[in-house]
Amino acid sequence: MPIKLPSFRPRKDAYPADLWTKCPSCSEMLFNKQLDKSDRVCPTCGHHFRLSAEARIALLVDDRSFVEVDAGLQSVDALGFVDQKPYPDRLAAAQLATGMRDAAVRGTATIDGHRVSLCVMDFAFMGGSMGAVVGEKVTRAAEQALMERLPLIIVSASGGARMQEGTLALMQLAKTCAALERLRAAGVPYISIMSDPTTGGVFASYAVLGDINIAEPNALIGFAGARVAAGTIAQELPPGFQRSEFLFEHGFVDRVVARRSLRGEIADLLRYLVPGEQRPAADNGRSLFDPIGFLTSLADRVVPDLPAPEEAPARPTEPADDVPAARAADREATRG
């Protein structure tokens, strides 16, 4: 192991925080633009940084195919919850910081031409915690999937249920699982993708219930916080405890898939899970030809690809001090 000479290393705050990010795994200083280009995976060691819902959707679905629905859902402070700050203030601060109304985005899109119902969580919004809005969006995504017989894809990134919504947040476990049971009974496929972190009540409801469970490498996935778990046995936890590979080893994750392969893997799976996929159009008595879709795709192909009228907005920047896994696990110590 190389000798660490911290005082000789450039201090992290010597770098402008909006330009550079330090990899928590290999300590490499990464230029943010370069990190964004590599889908926020460290080019040196392969560490998967957390992804915003926006970037995740761009990564997973066919260009221009995502249509957001239910964008206007917003939580209400039903309990009058005040900790060190009133809950409405926390919500407002999170909305201001992220530009999102809550911790999930849902809609429809195509993945390699397969139309899917998609719901993507964003950890940056109050730790991706599940309150009424996340629960509602997951449920509606499942209900739409059921109604239109679309495969359901949910990407989780969450510390669990949102404490500020009390047992109403806990009830979201039942609400989402109920919708998934209907999907299951109807034979509509559901692929769950667990990213870092997927813990607590989100893991113990829809995230773990995929027909296929996929995890990104080394993501924190678990029910209870590591400190609680360690406390109950008063000894060291097994190495890699509550990481994707641990879950894989114990049979709760089908595949650990690197980010760059995720979209391809989903497309490959959908070819097996979407019923009638290989059947000729005549089989179900309906033409598969979709004139509007055809014209749209034709128009897309003939319209020259003009430069965008304005520079794309800068991507949100990674803080230089991305929290090391141990600390992140620690502060989530009371889940479950």
Partner 1 sequence: MVDRLLGRRPVAGPVAPEDAKAEMWNRVQLARNLRRPRTLDLLAEMADEIIEIHGDRAFGDDAAMACGFARIDGHRVVFIGQQKGADTDENVRRNFGMPHPEGYRKAMRAMDLAERFGLPVVTFVDVPGAHPGPESEERGIAEAIARSIGLMTRLRTPIVSVITGEGGSGGAIAIAVGDVVIALENAVYAVISPEGCAAILWRSSDEAATAALAMRMSADDQQALGVVDQVVAEPGEGAHADHAETARRLRTVIVAELDRLERIPTDELLAARYERYRAFGAYTETAAPPMTPPPNRGLADRVRDLLDPTRWLTGTSTTGTPRRDDPTAPEEA
- Please tell me whether residue 23 binds Zn ion under the rule CB under 5 A: yes
**Closer residue to partner 1 in complex, CB, 131/189:** 131
For residue 198, give every residue at least 6 positions away whose Cβ sits within 8 Å of its Cβ, in sequence order, or none. Answer: 156, 157, 158, 207, 215, 219, 220, 221
The H-or-E segment that residue 154 falls in is: strand 152-158
For residue 146, give every residue at least 6 positions away whose Cβ sits within 8 Å of its Cβ, in sequence order, or none. Answer: 179, 182, 183, 186, 188
Which residues are paired to 214 by β-bridges?
A: 193, 255
* Minimum distance from residue 24 beta carbon to Zn ion (Å): 8
Give the β-pairing of 221-222 and 190-199. Answer: parallel
**Closer residue to partner 1 in complex, CB, 76/288:** 76
Instruction: State the binding string over 36-55 for Zn ion (x if CB under 5 A, else -).
Output: ------x-xx-x--------
The two tokens of residue 42 are: 């460290």
- Please tell me whether residue 334 binds Zn ion under the rule CB under 5 A: no
- Token look-up 């926006």 returns 54
* Minimum distance from residue 280 beta carbon to partner 1 (Å): 31
- Token look-up 């770098």 returns 15
Q: Segment 191-210, which members bind Zn ion (CB under 5 A)?
A: none
- Token look-up 């749209």 returns 296
Would you say 134 and 104 are in contact if contact means Cβ atoms under 8 Å apart? yes
Residue 332 DSSP SS3: coil
**Closer residue to partner 1 in complex, CB, 276/293:** 293
* Minimum distance from residue 44 beta carbon to partner 1 (Å): 18
* Minimum distance from residue 285 beta carbon to partner 1 (Å): 30
* Minimum distance from residue 226 beta carbon to partner 1 (Å): 9
**Closer residue to Zn ion in complex, CB, 35/150:** 35
Contacted entry of Zn ion, partner 1, none for residue 25, CB cut-off 5 to 8 Å set by kind: Zn ion
CA–CA dist 126, 271 (Å, integer): 36
Contacted entry of partner 1, Zn ion, none for residue 175, CB cut-off 5 to 8 Å set by kind: partner 1
What residue ranges bind Zn ion (CB under 5 A)? 23, 25-26, 28, 42, 44-45, 47
